[in-house]
A and B are shown apart, each in its own frame.
Chain A
């Protein structure tokens, strides 16, 4: 399977614990995105990497969230001191550098986080 992969697929944690998710993009894609999606809503942008550089970060993202993409390959998203409001599907998407404005993103299967 050469698509975007995410691990774990499901994570249940207790409030206050730290969690880390991993995303492996499509191999030739240099752009990687993290989104959060809650029931009945569209994906909400969290952060974006081009190669290893984190170029944009949503103002909605608290300092409990951090993301990395060492060496411009896989990426990790860490949430510290989880809260019940963090419960959501965390989606990763990747794209390749093409024509301006025509960036097509391909999504991974997502990691569903439940904070008890």
Chain B
């Protein structure tokens, strides 16, 4: 039973345009959400997070939106750059003391020059 779902395995966008990556979750106990970026042969790198008490968090070109009623979060990248081409994972935590995360299956983003 997949508690965190990324239904788009891949996404292709033009350089300079907006990239929107989506993530859905089923567990209403999740209260902290994260996005990671992963290049081939490297470990995932933390990108941005959001607590359930917020509906938006912004860091430079990256913005995460959280819709708790729909159990949906999205990552917006504006403007997209070729260096953003990577696999993006969303992850969720129920706020437990051990900071355990449940990951989605990832979306491969390709930014075309």
Q: Do A and B bind each other?
A: no
Task: Using CB atoms and an 8 Å cutoff, list the residues of chain B in contact with chain A.
Answer: none
Task: Using CB atoms and an 8 Å cutoff, list the residues of chain A in contact with chain B.
Answer: none
